[in-house]
Amino acid sequence: MTIYRAICLILFISLQHSLFLSNNSLFTYFSLNKTLESSSEEVAGYQISNKKLRQEIKEIRKDKTFIEIYARENYGYIKKNEIFYQIIKNEK
The string of pLDDT tens digits covering residues 60-75 is 888 878 888 888 888 8
Burial of 8-22, coded b for 16+ CB within 10 Å and e otherwise, reads eeeeeeeeeeeeeee
Question: Contact, 88 vs 80, CB < 8 A?
Answer: no
Domain boundaries, the chain: 2-75
| Longest Cα separation, the chain | 103
Segment 37-50, tens digit of pLDDT = 999 999 999 999 99
Specify the higher pLDDT residue, 25 or 10.
10
How far from chain centre, in Å, is Cα 44? 7
